[in-house]
Chains A and B, each alone.
Chain A
Amino acid sequence: MVGPFAGFKWLALFANWKVFAEGFLTTLLASSLSLCLALVLGIIFGVLGSTHFKFPKAINRVYVEFIQNTPLVIQVFFLFNGLPHMGIMLPVLAVGVLGVGIYHGAYIAEVIRAGIQSIHRGQMEAALSQGFNYVGAMRYIILPQAARVVLPPLANQAVNLIKNTSVMALIAGGDLMYRADSWSSETLHYGPTYVVVGLLYLSLCFPLANLVRYLEKRAEVSA
């Protein structure tokens, strides 16, 4: 009898390593781009949410609630199949980056908002009293301090983000998960495929988690 992990399946997998290397690179690219986007969105909307003014706060709430309370799959599916009906045909990588970036931007906005609000308001007052404007005070005084607080939850987001780029598999995004689904369903060698692909995801996420632990420790020393 032939088990899911039979030897010849492993050989076939390694013979086709290029398929997975390409997927890995796509996942890496999509992850880094969407992480950048998520950070930018997260910071902007997190800052908006931490102000004491009604309008920016309302904008923050609409974004966060809308994105957090609808499934990522639907958002990505909308970008992929919905937008073309309105005449906007984004490349599939852009769909993945936008979808995952916007999705995690909402979570990062919440993390950043909480981080900012954890900084004593005396810091903002000191900065303002020295002639900083609001943006300058945020950039030089508040955000660097908040960064320390938010590093661990941010890392969690980054790890989740990498894993969530696998939604691109649903829209033929060419990422690691897509290649895995495609190759394994064609050959039926799903056993080795998902083990190897799982390890590849691990190789991305695990060092990241460690890096953050290290940064956290370093921040503690200098604080």
Chain B
Amino acid sequence: MIQLTEVHKYFGHNHVLKDISLTVQTGEKLVVIGPSGSGKSTLIRCMNLLEKPTSGKVVVDGVEITAHNAPVAKVRQQVAMVFQQFNLYPHKTVLENLTLAPIIVGGVAKEEAEESGMKYLDRVGLRAKANAFPSQLSGGQQQRVAIARALNMRPKIMLFDEPTSALDPEMIQEVLDVMVDLAHEGITMVVVTHEMGFARQVADRVIFMDEGEIVEQGTPEHFFINPNHDRTKLFLSKILR
């Protein structure tokens, strides 16, 4: 469970998050949509403290990570993140990308980490690429490796920040398929995306952000059938062409 209470974030004078209070339930699939610059990334990055809120509280599974001296690194092991630019470790093989953090941070035995790593590579359909380097893979493959890397941490929560928007169109689906597959498990997911098909398929709730505020939230159907706000309608009309 993730709880944000009255979170504000400033970059200099730029007020990027304005008094956000939000609770993501355990097992919930939350999709965040909104125009560019509305603060979606900043919001999701506050959930694992990659961005430190200027004020307000963030609590993850009962631990207040915004508190002074909070065990942030410990919490982050439970909160995996998948980035728009994949951010795989280019100097490591695919399998090493999966096993590095579990071995060093999680204290898992090497064999065990490799075994589970191969299992997750299998799951994203890339078992054969275990010994390749990231630069030898396509964008879609890299992102699938990134997801497998996140999974190999055995996280309770997964954060996705526009995982498909850096991909060529023909590769988007292979990544979404993996994510849909994941969603059928009990894991908590927060996904920033404009893939409304995906939202409709898996989301328990969708929130629409604009100018640092949560303008509207509801089920995917609510957003497709009758969104309340004009700003929401305008935004949806642009992405649902």
Direct contact of A and B (CB under 8 A): yes
Q: Is the CB of B105 within 8 A of A131?
A: yes
State whether A125 and B74 are in contact (beta carbons under 8 Å apart), knowing that A130-B153, A131-B101 are contacts in the complex.
no
Cβ contacts under 8 Å, B77 to chain A: 130-131
B105 contacts across to A, CB distance below 8 A: 130-132, 136
> Is A222's CB under 8 angstroms from B50's CB?
no
A144 to B135, CA, bound (A): 16
Chain A-chain B contacts (Cβ-Cβ < 8 Å), number: 63
Task: Please report the C-alpha to C-alpha distance between residue A140 and residue B50 in the assembled complex, in whole angstroms.
Answer: 19
| Contacts A122-B83, A136-B104, A140-B100; A129 near B50 (Cβ below 8 A) | yes
Q: A132's contact among B50, B73, B88, by CB below 8 Å, is which?
A: B73
Of all chain B residues, which has the CB nearest A131? B77
Pair A223/B101 contact, Cβ less than 8 Å: no
Check if B80 sits within 8 Å of A129, measured CB to CB.
yes
- Report the minimum CB–CB distance from B82 to chain A (whole Å): 9
Q: Does B198 count as interface, using CB distance less than 8 angstroms?
A: no
Tell me whether B76 is interfacial, beta carbon within 8 Å. yes
| Contact flag A223-B90 (CB < 8 Å), given A126-B83, A129-B48, A129-B80 | yes
Q: How far is the CA of A208 from the CA of B73 in the complex (A)?
A: 40
The contact sample of 24 A-B pairs, CB cut-off 8 A, is A120-B87, A122-B83, A122-B87, A123-B89, A125-B50, A125-B81, A125-B87, A126-B81, A126-B89, A128-B50, A129-B76, A130-B77, A130-B100, A130-B101, A131-B73, A131-B77, A132-B101, A132-B104, A132-B105, A133-B73, A140-B100, A140-B104, A145-B91, A223-B133
Check A130–B135 contact: CB distance below 8 A. no
B residues less than 8 Å from A125 (CB atoms): 50, 81, 83, 87
Given that A126-B89, A136-B105, A223-B90 are contacting pairs, would A131 and B153 also be in contact in the complex, using a CB cutoff of 8 Å? Answer: yes
0 or 1 for each of A184-209: is its CB under 8 Å from B? (1 = yes): 00000000000000000000000000
In the complex, A141 has a CB within 8 A of chain B: yes
Of all chain A residues, the one with the shortest Cβ separation from B133 is A222
Interface residues, chain B, CB within 8 Å of chain A?
48, 50, 73-74, 76-77, 79-81, 83, 85, 87-91, 100-101, 104-106, 133, 135, 149, 153
Residue of A nearest to B105 (CB): A131
15 new A-B contacts at CB < 8 Å, known A122-B87, A125-B50, A126-B88 = A123-B87, A123-B89, A127-B101, A128-B73, A129-B48, A129-B79, A130-B153, A131-B73, A131-B74, A132-B73, A132-B101, A136-B105, A145-B90, A145-B91, A148-B91
What count of chain A residues pass the 8 Å CB interface test?
20
Q: Which residue of B lies closest to A147 (CB)?
A: B91
Residues of A within 8 A of B (CB): 120, 122-123, 125-133, 136, 140-141, 144-145, 148, 222-223
**Closest-CB distance, A132 to chain B (whole angstroms):** 6
A23 CB → nearest B CB, Å:
40
In the assembled complex, the Cα of A150 lies from the Cα of B87 at a distance in Å of 21
The list of the 8 closest CB pairs from A to B, nearest first, reads A131-B77, A126-B87, A130-B101, A122-B87, A129-B81, A131-B105, A131-B76, A131-B73
Q: Give the distance to chain A from B215, nearest Cβ to Cβ, in Å.
A: 27
Nearest CB to that of A133 among chain B residues? Answer: B73
Specify which chain A residues have a CB less than 8 angstroms from the CB of B149 in the assembled complex. 130
Which residues of A sit under 8 angstroms from B48, Cβ to Cβ? Answer: 129
Q: In the complex, A128 Cα to B105 Cα: how many Å?
A: 10
Instruction: Report A52 CB to chain B, min CB distance, Å.
Output: 12
**Do B80 and A144 have beta carbons less than 8 Å apart?**
no
Taking the nearest CB of chain A, how far is it from the CB of B151, in angstroms? 12
Instruction: Point out the residues of chain A lying under 8 angstroms from B100, CB to CB.
Output: 130, 140
- Residues in B with CB closer than 8 Å to A145 are 89-91
List of A residues within 8 angstroms of B88 by Cβ: 126
Give chain B nearest CB distance to A99 CB in angstroms.
34
In the bound complex, residues from chain A placing their C-beta under 8 Å from that of B87 are: 120, 122-123, 125-126
CA distance A128 to B50 in the complex (A): 8
